[in-house]
Amino acid sequence: MIRTILNLGGKSVSQEKQQKTYRAAIVGLGFVGAGDPVSAEALGQRVEDLDGMHAQALAAHPRVQLIAGASRDEGRRRRFGERTGVTRLYADWREMLAEQDLDLVSVATNSPYHAEIAVAFAEAGVRAVLCEKPVATRLSDADRMVDTCRRHGALLVLNHNRRWHPLWQLARREIQRGALGEVRQVHLRWLSGRLGNIGTHFFDATRHLLGLEAEAVSGTLDANVAPDCRGAQFHDPGGWGIVQFEHGVRAFVDARQSSGAPFEFRVVGDQAQLLVLGNEVRIETWNGERSSLAAPPDSPNSMDLAVGEIVNFLDAGDACRSSGEDGRAALEIILGFHASHRREGQWVPLPLKDEDREHEVLIG
């Protein structure tokens, strides 16, 4: 039996202030930033499978004006302009920052560039930065992003889309209301390796659903790593291991490049377990009962909801459900796997310290 939950919370546009329009731009006009079809083909993915994209969500909001874009790639700039009608196009984001008066910027470049760009826009007075994941490639850079945005009063939002996705919000509400009893374990498995680019979503989702912080990591990296189409310098292996969370909850991770097993996100409690499947949340109690929850089929996509929350911040300083601190915490778990691997699988306590904070992993 599947029941549909209609009340997803949040403010509608009609409840927001209507008079002010906010000026936005995008740095990085590729697949997620601008739905670029050539970039999608290079990644082996489809634009229509995205849970929203930056350009579309910014342009669709009635109180956001998408006025500019920046990319080093001339073809991406040209295709972006043809699709959107935006004419202020830049090869260098620094030139765009100097010339345009912006309220909001989307940072959709590769991760090694996130920190420099986000810090520069926050220091220049841009009030909101919507950044792709992973937040950065070293922990010290993530700290710099968070600290700079906080110091300048700018909102830093990470595109961990499961924090907005209605199905994952239903899962969180069931766990938080005690449907599983006391949570004991989490089981995470995905097929494509990439602890950085894929793992960041599921480590963040675990923190969000459980409301718990990670305390230690023991892990091993997969030697089988697929080439990265963005360049040979990028290296984002999968792996396997355990993440220790507060209150003794452990997440068992199987993210090998070639595991061959299906996707799994399973939360186990002392009364029931919860599984997030393709289009439903299933709860199975230990006495044999089973129920399913489904989000409405016409729900807004996650990126549209994210932009709506950013507008609420620009209006009234409202909080957003995916912060820079959340992105930093997910990155710390990823880097914890790398630190543990360098120590042959030993437990590595979090927060990371000393050289582990400066160790860079070029995870794309």
Cα–Cα distance list, 89 to 30, 56, 336 (Å)? 14, 17, 39
Residue 165's identity, in one-letter code, is: H
User: Helices 139-151 and 324-342: crossing angle, nearest 10°?
Assistant: 160
CATH number of the domain where residue 135 is located: 3.40.50.720
Mean pLDDT on 150-157: 98
- Domain identity same for 42 and 100: yes
User: Do 272 and 131 have their domain in common?
Assistant: no
**Residues 231 and 146 occupy one common structural domain:** no
Claim to verify: residue 80 and residue 179 sit in the same structural domain: no
Three-class SS state of 253: strand
Of 138-142, 148-152, 190-194, 234-238, the one with minimum mean pLDDT is 190-194
- Of 190-204, 252-266, 335-349, the range with the lowest mean pLDDT is 252-266
In sequence order, which ranges of the chain are alpha helices (DSSP H)? Answer: 31-34, 37-43, 54-60, 74-84, 93-99, 114-123, 139-151, 166-176, 199-210, 302-316, 324-342, 355-358
Residues 177 and 267 in one domain: yes
User: What's the CA gap between 60 and 13, in Å, rounded?
Assistant: 12
| Residue 276 bridge partners (DSSP) | 281
Do 219 and 74 belong to one domain? no
Final residue of a domain: which of 260, 294, 328?
294
Lowest mean pLDDT among 11-15, 59-63, 250-254: 11-15
| C-alpha count within 13 angstroms, C-beta hemisphere, residue 357 | 10
Could you tell me if 145 and 196 lie in one domain? no
Q: Would residue 303 count as lying in a domain?
A: no
In-domain check, residue 329: no
Residue 222 lies inside a defined structural domain of this protein: yes
pLDDT at 17 over 60: no
CB atoms within 10 A of CB 82: 9
For residue 364, name the pLDDT band (cuts at 50, 70, 90). confident
Same domain (yes/no): 145, 168: no
Identify whether the C-beta of residue 255 lies closer than 8 Å to the C-beta of residue 198. yes
pLDDT at position 2: 38
Instruction: Tell me, yes or no, whether 11 lies in a domain.
Output: yes
pLDDT at 8 over 50: no
In what side-by-side order are the strands of the sheet with 250-255? 2-4, 290-294, 281-285, 272-276, 264-269, 183-189, 250-255, 239-245, 214-221, 348-349
Average pLDDT, the chain: 93
pLDDT digits (tens, 9 = 90+) for 190-245: 988 999 999 999 999 999 999 999 999 999 999 988 787 778 888 999 999 999 99
Give a yes or no: residue 50 inside a domain: yes
Q: Which domain holds residue 101?
A: 7-160
Q: Is the pLDDT assigned to residue 250 strictly greater than 80?
A: yes
Q: Does some domain include residue 352?
A: no
Residues 6 or more apart from 258 whose CB is under 8 A from it? 224
Its sign, for the CA torsion 30, 33, 37, 40, is positive
Find the mean pLDDT for residues 294-316. 94
Comparing 162 with 226, the larger pLDDT belongs to: 162
pLDDT tops 90 at residue 49: no
Stronger pLDDT, 364 or 198, i.e. the higher one: 198
Closest listed residue to residue 14, CA positions, set 326, 312, 360, 228:
312
The domain boundary residue, chosen from 248, 269, 294: 294
Whether the predicted pLDDT of 349 surpasses 60: yes
Q: In this structure, is residue 121 part of a structural domain?
A: yes
Average pLDDT in the 59-81 region? 97
189 and 134 share a domain? Answer: no
Number of domains the chain is built from: 2
Residues 17 and 150 placed together within one structural domain of the fold: yes
Q: Which of 108, 143, 160 is the last residue of a domain?
A: 160
pLDDT at 18: 57
> Mean pLDDT over residues 89-115, rounded?
98
Strand order of the β-sheet with 22-27 is 88-90, 64-70, 22-27, 104-107, 128-131, 155-158
- Measure the CA–CA gap between 54 and 129, rounded to whole angstroms: 12
| DSSP designation for 362 | -
Closest CA to 79 of 45, 30, 41: 30
What's the whole-number mean pLDDT along residues 120-124?
98
Q: 135 with 167, same domain? A: no
Q: Give the mean model confidence (pLDDT) for residues 94-117.
A: 98
Q: Is the pLDDT of residue 5 over 60?
A: no
Query: Is the confidence at residue 13, as pLDDT, over 50?
Result: no
Where residue 247 sits, what CATH number does that domain have?
Answer: 3.30.360.10
Is residue 302 in a domain?
Answer: no
**Whether residue 139 is found in the same domain as residue 270:** no
Residue 6: the pLDDT is: 32
